[in-house]
Structure 1
Amino acid sequence: MTERKPPGVSYESWVEKQIRESTERGGFEDLPGFGKPLRNLDRPYDEMWWIKEKMDREQVSFLPASLV
């Protein structure tokens, strides 16, 4: 857990400092997907993308079993 933002420091510079320090400690190394392209960048934006992905991961359908 990080410390609280000190008074008088802008939120952006405080966050940037946290990210920089973590990068220096190696906190972002060995993350899954590191160095791989982001999926679905070539598709148009869909506001419900996360719901569709969750339903696909959980193998859930909003259709009745007889229609699936």
Structure 2
Amino acid sequence: LNYILISIEDEGKGVPQEHHNQLFKPLFTTKKKGHGLGLSISHRLVQAHKGLLRYSSGNSNGAVFQIFLPYQKK
């Protein structure tokens, strides 16, 4: 089984270590005007397609989100 990788990186301040285990939980947000649904919904959509959504710190202290989606040649 092969995977297609989609990598999204920003140059922001990243995500503090203490929030890493909560990133994909519904209603978790650190923003005053946030709803905490974006990453949760994204995570569920990727899982529904038997994929994986992963967070890591970027080279410039920003955030990196990687989406792995299964790919099979027909």
Q: Give the TM-score of the pair, scaled to structure 1.
A: 0.25
Task: Choose between structure 1 and 2: higher helix proportion.
Answer: 1
**Which of structures 1 and 2 has the bigger CA Rg?**
1
Q: Which has the higher contact order (CA 8 A, sep 6+)?
A: 2
Task: State TM-score, norm by structure 2.
Answer: 0.23
Point out the structure with the larger strand share: 2
